[in-house]
A and B are shown apart, each in its own frame.
Chain A
Amino acid sequence: MAMTRKQRRLVLIGGSVGVLGIALALVLSALGSSIVFFNSPSDVLAKHISPGTRIRIGGLVKMGSVQRGNDLKIRFEVTDGKSEIPVRFQGIVPDLFREGQGVVAEGKLEPGNVLDADTVLAKHDERYMPKEVVEALKKSGRWQEGETAAAGGPAK
């Protein structure tokens, strides 16, 4: 298989472009289908997100809203101070999940704006709050600057 220099170069360039093209197609299709948008509770109500969409919401666990049922079922409401979204979850919530504390939940939005969550994340330690929660609280005007000013966290 004797190839000229030109042919060899063509094979090399053609192969590279081919692989990059395939990768690009994979990335674009994945960006269209497998990413999840983050919303504050007010966003969820304002945007009229259609039921069945996977979303992430963040805010504070509303005081007095946590109800535990059998089989590790739990219900609570996520609030940004303006609106609340009820969340259903079955499983073990993080250690730092508490009423009045920051939380992020991910799952499918059900009719009636109830989130059927499969993932619940709490804030990491007493000084750190998920960025998404901070944003949600800032938007609704419930954020006090300096609240986590001293934040420094795990350096892993």
Chain B
Amino acid sequence: MIPELGHYALILALALGLIQSVAPVIGSIYRDAPLMRLANSTALMQFVFVAASFAALEICFITSDFSVAIVYENSHSLMPLVYRMSSVWGNHEGSMLLWVLILSLFGALVAMFGVNLPSTLKALVLAVQSWIACAFYVFILLTSNPFLRLTPAPFEGRDLNPILQDPGLAIHPPLLYLGYVGFSIAFSFAIAALIEGRIDAAWARWVRPWTLMAWMFLTLGIAMGSYWAYYTLGWGGFWFWDPVENASLMPWLAGTALLHSAVVMEKRNALKVWTILLAILTFSLSLIGTFLVRSGVLTSVHAFASDPTRGVFILCILVLFIGGALTLFAWRAPMLKQGGLFAPISREGALVFNNLFLTTACLTVFVGTLYPLALEALTGAKISVGAPFFNVTFGPLVLALLFAMPFGQLLAWKRGDLLGAAQRLMAAFGVGLVVIGLTYAVEGKQPVLAPFAVGLAFYIMVGAAVDLVERTGLFRMPLRIVAARAGGLPRSAWGTAVAHFGIALSMLGIIAAGSWGTERIVAVKPSQTISISGYTLTFDGLSQQAGPNYSAVVGRFTVREGGNVIGVMQPSKRSFSTRGMSTNEAALMERGFGQLYLSLGDTEANGSLAIRLYYKPLVLLIWIGAVIMMLGGALSLSDRRLRVGAPKPARAKTAMQPAE
């Protein structure tokens, strides 16, 4: 009964979606307020029905109702509750249901919180949002129905893929989807503006908080996925340039560009057409990502194969929405009133520089991800494009962007002073140079470029703070005044500084872990000792343990530093009998921001045990940096919310603070 109710709720959501796709558009043409307002209620009810459908599927998984096909395929009655709950989206059908749940959630949020949006704009935004939702409801109902029944119902499920039996599954996909799918709002706003043929600074002010929110979730989602891959795949890597990872990186890069160009549009009423295009492209990249992951066209560590009808269907959605949006853009964009041009050396100019480099970097990732697919489709030749490709293409573009970043923060709107900015960055340059020297002295000359990259990271960290230091009068004024000024600064200024600081922190982690990490891959016998970077590990032996739905071999290693025992590491290997698979549970030990990382390999013929042991200095900064970036976004968002509530005074306020 419950699966049928869930199925029915989804069909009702589709019916509401169809109404919402048409009625508000007609309402906006005839200026019919009740028709336009209809979209508010349908958007809310759509969310309620999709949520009911999702809840129904949750209940099927929690109660282990194996008469439902995907529950049988992906669950097991012995799995812990949290994995039964998260395995709802550990499969294709359920994860698409999560996708539309989040899509309808964002629609409902716009309906609820977009109170001061102009009525026609709001009606059109909700209509476009509903077009996307309907396409995916139909996709789910026709090709990926999560509520299909099996008769007779099996007694036991086939278990969830053990790699996914991890808290990471509970957190990573929902965050990632909140990001990915959240960009649909920016897309809907862009399409609505094109249909209306009107766009102004207020448009940017409405779009920015939504984009910022999606960006924050995506940032956290990508970081979380990276940490999950790091500890679960057992070879200590945190980014593999895998197509599925790139699929989430591309919308992130475009979305970051969009955040910055929307600022220019809001503050200076320029870059309008470009911002619209970016909004379309960002969500298009989300759709392309969904296509890459969901259609099974990829070979990747996130291996996913499924039948081609789904791929073709998503491809149709893709072509319809991206093609349609770009056609509409080509037709309507020339009619939009152009904003002014501006001097190359200015805050606006710096943000254009940012956009140029971010989109170009995004393009290199796009080429590296899709070129192998295109080549295989056209010539049949199969190639793999990995880290070496991205290091020489994506790398230089991002380094140039990062170097310019502190300048952007210090240039004034309209007419900036490059030399003045460079002078104000003297302290940052100084710190950077000193750090380069120190790094050389401590770590030696290998690898050659690493000390420069570390210097760059420190230069950015100091550079990010320069603007705040100057504006609060830190080091010049009494602390009381500094505190008062700090409180008076717009939150977005804090947000910028914090987010840029976070990037530098992530960069520092990547460089340090990549350049000065050490690795031992050896075979050990009981009571044998291995040493790495000043730590010694003694292999105490193996033991067997039983989990709820697996059996595990656990290795015990005593860790010593300078002769003193500092802890025990217990990496394990779990065997899941239902699927005949095993997973590797690496043991991690924090040493400051660095980590010792130990994972088990096979037992060799002579009885010794193969292990992988890594010491990764500062590796935690990679993810801490990402969390700090997200917090920067949150600070900025808290600022936006206040201003969105009272657009006019806020505008006057920014006019009085040209230094921002």
Given the interface pairs A38-B382, A154-B303, the reply to whether A96 lies near B581 with Cβ below 8 Å is yes
Give the contact stretch, choosing among A24-32, A80-88, A107-115: A24-32
B73 cross-chain contacts in A, Cβ below 8 A: 152
Contact, CB under 8 Å: A68 / B303: no
Contact pick for B304, options A72, A95, A121, A155, CB 8 Å: A155
Contact, CB under 8 Å: A92 / B521: yes
Mask of B572-607 contacts with A, CB within 8 angstroms, 1/0: 010000011111100000000000000001101100
A26 cross-chain contacts in B, Cβ below 8 A: 364, 392-393, 396-397
Given the interface pairs A27-B364, A151-B306, the reply to whether A16 lies near B356 with Cβ below 8 Å is yes
Judged by a CB distance under 8 angstroms, whether B11 is at the interface is no
Q: Distance (Å) between the CB of B492 and the closest chain A CB?
A: 25
Contact pick for B92, options A29, A95, A152, CB 8 Å: A152
Judged by a CB distance under 8 angstroms, whether B89 is at the interface is yes
Judged by a CB distance under 8 angstroms, whether B139 is at the interface is no
Contact, CB under 8 Å: A12 / B344: yes
Judged by a CB distance under 8 angstroms, whether B363 is at the interface is yes
Q: Distance (Å) between the CB of A79 and the closest chain B CB?
A: 18
Mask of A115-137 contacts with B, CB within 8 angstroms, 1/0: 00000010011101011100100
* CB closest residue in chain A, given B164: A154
Judged by a CB distance under 8 angstroms, whether B172 is at the interface is yes
B89 cross-chain contacts in A, Cβ below 8 A: 155
Mask of B350-393 contacts with A, CB within 8 angstroms, 1/0: 00110011001101100110011000000001111110110011
Give Cα A33–Cα B381 distance, bound, in whole angstroms: 16
Contact, CB under 8 Å: A34 / B581: no
Judged by a CB distance under 8 angstroms, whether A145 is at the interface is no
Judged by a CB distance under 8 angstroms, whether A142 is at the interface is no
Give Cα A5–Cα B344 distance, bound, in whole angstroms: 11
Q: Among the interface residues A1, A30, A38, which one has the most CB atoms of the partner chain B within 10 A?
A: A30
Q: Distance (Å) between the CB of A107 and the closest chain B CB?
A: 12
Judged by a CB distance under 8 angstroms, whether B169 is at the interface is yes
Give Cα A8–Cα B612 distance, bound, in whole angstroms: 57
Contact, CB under 8 Å: B172 / A126: no
Name B266-306 residues within 8 Å CB distance of A: 293, 299, 301-306
Give Cα A148–Cα B299 distance, bound, in whole angstroms: 14
Contact, CB under 8 Å: B579 / A126: yes
B364 cross-chain contacts in A, Cβ below 8 A: 23, 26-27
Contact, CB under 8 Å: B605 / A68: yes
Judged by a CB distance under 8 angstroms, whether B107 is at the interface is no
Judged by a CB distance under 8 angstroms, whether B161 is at the interface is yes
Total chain B interface residues with beta-carbon distance under 8 A: 68
Q: Distance (Å) between the CB of A58 and the closest chain B CB?
A: 9
Q: Distance (Å) between the CB of B97 and the closest chain A CB?
A: 11
A45 cross-chain contacts in B, Cβ below 8 A: none
Mask of A34-69 contacts with B, CB within 8 angstroms, 1/0: 111110000000000000000010000000000010
Contact, CB under 8 Å: B161 / A154: yes
Given the interface pairs A5-B341, A8-B342, A72-B610, the reply to whether A155 lies near B386 with Cβ below 8 Å is no
Contact, CB under 8 Å: B303 / A12: no
Given the interface pairs A11-B344, A23-B393, the reply to whether A153 lies near B303 with Cβ below 8 Å is yes
Total chain A interface residues with beta-carbon distance under 8 A: 49
Contact, CB under 8 Å: B582 / A153: no
* CB closest residue in chain A, given B573: A95
Q: Distance (Å) between the CB of B253 and the closest chain A CB?
A: 13
Judged by a CB distance under 8 angstroms, whether B104 is at the interface is no
Contact, CB under 8 Å: B523 / A37: no
A155 cross-chain contacts in B, Cβ below 8 A: 89-92, 94-95, 164, 173, 293, 304
Judged by a CB distance under 8 angstroms, whether A138 is at the interface is no
B302 cross-chain contacts in A, Cβ below 8 A: 153-154, 156
Interface of A is mostly: mixed
A8 cross-chain contacts in B, Cβ below 8 A: 341-344
* CB closest residue in chain A, given B372: A35
Contact, CB under 8 Å: A12 / B352: yes
Name B530-552 residues within 8 Å CB distance of A: none
Judged by a CB distance under 8 angstroms, whether B345 is at the interface is yes
Give Cα A56–Cα B299 distance, bound, in whole angstroms: 13
Contact pick for B341, options A9, A16, A128, A153, CB 8 Å: A9
Contact, CB under 8 Å: B383 / A38: yes
Contact, CB under 8 Å: B523 / A71: yes
A38 cross-chain contacts in B, Cβ below 8 A: 381-384
Give Cα A125–Cα B161 distance, bound, in whole angstroms: 8
Contact, CB under 8 Å: A156 / B244: yes
A71 cross-chain contacts in B, Cβ below 8 A: 522-523
Contact, CB under 8 Å: B388 / A125: no
Judged by a CB distance under 8 angstroms, whether B132 is at the interface is no
Judged by a CB distance under 8 angstroms, whether B163 is at the interface is yes
Give Cα A130–Cα B612 distance, bound, in whole angstroms: 24
* CB closest residue in chain A, given B357: A19
Contact pick for B579, options A72, A125, A131, CB 8 Å: A125
Give Cα A19–Cα B95 distance, bound, in whole angstroms: 38
Give Cα A148–Cα B305 distance, bound, in whole angstroms: 9
Q: Distance (Å) between the CB of A148 and the closest chain B CB?
A: 7
Mask of B85-103 contacts with A, CB within 8 angstroms, 1/0: 0000111101100000000
A16 cross-chain contacts in B, Cβ below 8 A: 356
* CB closest residue in chain B, given A125: B581
Name A92-111 residues within 8 Å CB distance of B: 92-93, 95-96, 106
26 examples of A-B residue contacts, CB within 8 angstroms: A8-B344, A15-B344, A19-B357, A19-B360, A23-B360, A23-B363, A26-B397, A29-B392, A31-B385, A35-B372, A35-B389, A36-B383, A38-B384, A68-B604, A68-B605, A91-B521, A92-B521, A93-B602, A124-B301, A130-B299, A152-B92, A154-B90, A154-B161, A155-B90, A155-B91, A155-B164
List 9 A-B pairs, minimum CB-CB distance, nearest first: A92-B601, A34-B388, A38-B382, A131-B299, A124-B303, A151-B305, A26-B393, A23-B360, A155-B95
Q: Which residues of B contact A (CB under 8 A)?
A: 73, 89-92, 94-95, 161, 163-164, 169, 172-173, 225, 244, 293, 299, 301-306, 341-345, 352-353, 356-357, 360-361, 363-364, 367-368, 371-372, 381-386, 388-389, 392-393, 396-397, 521-523, 573, 579-584, 601-602, 604-605, 610, 612
A-B contacts besides A12-B344, A68-B604, 20 pairs, CB < 8 Å: A3-B344, A23-B393, A26-B392, A29-B392, A31-B385, A31-B389, A34-B389, A35-B384, A37-B382, A71-B523, A72-B604, A106-B384, A125-B161, A132-B299, A152-B305, A153-B303, A153-B304, A154-B164, A155-B94, A155-B304
